[in-house]
């Protein structure tokens, strides 16, 4: 058993050496545009359809970028990647969108390492949303990294990072009141109707588009406006029928869109088309018509404003509508930020452990091999030696030693140097 104790003494001696911080293994980069600096038209130029996002990921794969994800919503288009050269990501974004380098330099942002990490957590938890506490974004992020995983451009490290973001989002939702009240783009559209339209319960309302925002808007319409004149239209009728069946609403075919526009007092457009789906050529009514465009890029053409009876409100204007809960939500931000800091610390601990785990495991295996040799020698000298008890004791010591080594490396100021010291002292080859 003297071999075990000798190893223990060597570990103790190692602790007297100067140690270091973990080299930054997470070379995270983020490029994007958002509502903070880019207006609707500019965001629309960098908006990416699902098909285009897939093409971008394929191009990244060809460039040997092993971990990358992209998401594009009404408020932002962003690319995250384990990539040290962020300019490569800017090139990819510009190549697969209608935007160019000149425009990106004015309205875009490039974040790396810690700044990119913190930004990802703030986006994923709704702290960076146009409407504070909007948790729709985390579902969108999930879809983005699931898509990347299916396309084999999401390695375990990146997946662990995104799972940490999901964890932070869940904790904030459960442990704070930052999502309390009803504040979202879909609700803001309904709130606008309630505030500016007289007798909204008697108006003919046409909801065009049954994506995520469209479905949420539909639910808010039913919840807040007692109206029997709500018509749903979607390019795929089945999706509209599913929503209509839930609330006993009216469904019309896509071909009926011009007719229903003529009947409508209020049109809510929540389609995901890359080009406008509503233009003045479809509008043939002299009655006042409110058009709410919840789409990015714009799905209501600017030429509708040529008509004197049309009021068009876009998503950016709706987002300025604040609910009375906004002030209460703001009070919860420090709690949310504390949770984010805790989850990031946990992720960094995992990241740090990941860097030296092979060395600690190799040390443990070496000690176990030495243990077997020592026990075999002792058994020759002492045939009546109780090997089970001796093995139990030595395994206990080995585990305590490896735990102590791991803890010391984790808490050191220079992880890389600490790991190298362990490797040198115990002749463990570096990998």
- Find out whether 196 and 255 touch, Cβ atoms under 8 Å: no
230 to 132, 189, 214, 215, 277: CA distances (angstroms): 29, 15, 13, 13, 20
Active site residue 30: no
Catalytic residue among 30, 74, 94, 218: 74
Tell me how far apart the alpha carbons of residues 204 and 184 are, in angstroms, rounded to a whole number. 23
Using alpha carbons only, give the angle 19, 20, 22 rounded to the nearest 5 degrees. Answer: 140
Element (H, E) at 32: strand 28-34
- Find out whether 379 and 1 touch, Cβ atoms under 8 Å: no
Residues 276-312 as b/e (b if ≥16 CB within 10 A, e otherwise) read bbbeeeebeeeeebbbbbbbbbbbbbeebeebeebeb
Of 298, 321, 317, nearest in space to 132 by CA: 321
Six-digit token pair at 96?
Answer: 């697969």
For residue 313, list its beta bridge partners: 292
Catalytic site residues? Answer: 74
């Amino acid at each position: 058993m003297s071999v075990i104790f000798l190893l223990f003494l060597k570990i103790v001696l190692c602790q007297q050496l100067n140690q270091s911080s973990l080299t930054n293994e997470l070379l995270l980069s983020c490029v994007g545009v958002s509502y903070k600096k880019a207006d609707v038209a500019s965001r629309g130029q960098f908006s990416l359809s699902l098909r285009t996002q897939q093409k971008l990921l394929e191009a990244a794969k060809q460039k040997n970028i092993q971990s990358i994800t992209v998401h594009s919503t009404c408020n932002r288009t962003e690319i995250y990647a384990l990539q040290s050269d962020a300019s490569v990501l800017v090139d990819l974004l510009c190549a697969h969108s209608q935007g160019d380098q000149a425009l990106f330099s004015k309205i875009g942002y490039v974040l790396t390492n810690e700044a990119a990490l913190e930004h990802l957590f703030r986006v994923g938890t709704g702290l960076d949303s146009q409407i504070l506490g909007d948790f729709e974004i985390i579902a969108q992020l999930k879809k983005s990294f699931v898509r990347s995983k299916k396309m084999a451009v999401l390695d375990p490290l990146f997946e662990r990072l995104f799972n940490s973001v999901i964890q932070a989002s869940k904790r904030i939702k459960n442990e704070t009141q930052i999502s309390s009240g009803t504040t979202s783009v879909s609700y803001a559209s309904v709130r606008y109707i309630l505030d500016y339209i007289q007798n909204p319960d008697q108006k003919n309302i046409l909801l065009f588009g049954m994506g995520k925002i469209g479905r949420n808007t539909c639910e808010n319409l039913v919840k807040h406006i007692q109206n029997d004149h709500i018509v749903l239209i979607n390019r795929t009728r089945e999706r509209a029928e599913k929503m209509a069946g839930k609330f006993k609403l009216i469904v019309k075919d896509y071909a009926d869109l011009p007719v229903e526009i003529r009947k409508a007092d209020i049109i809510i457009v929540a389609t995901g088309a890359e080009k406008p789906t509503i233009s003045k050529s479809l509008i043939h009514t002299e009655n006042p018509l409110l058009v709410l465009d919840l789409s990015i890029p714009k799905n209501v053409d600017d030429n509708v404003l040529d008509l004197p009876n049309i009021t068009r409100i876009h998503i950016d204007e709706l987002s300025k509508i604040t609910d009375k809960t906004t002030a209460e939500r703001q009070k919860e931000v420090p709690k949310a930020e504390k949770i984010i800091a805790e989850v990031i610390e946990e992720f960094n601990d995992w990241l740090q452990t990941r860097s030296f785990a092979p060395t600690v495991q190799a040390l443990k295996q070496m000690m176990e091999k030495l243990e077997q040799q020592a026990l075999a020698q002792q058994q020759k000298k002492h045939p009546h030696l109780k090997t089970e008890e001796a093995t139990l004791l030595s395994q206990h010591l080995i585990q305590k030693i490896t735990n102590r080594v791991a803890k010391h490396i984790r808490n050191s100021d220079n992880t890389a140097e600490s790991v190298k010291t362990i490797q040198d002292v115990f002749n463990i080859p570096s990998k």
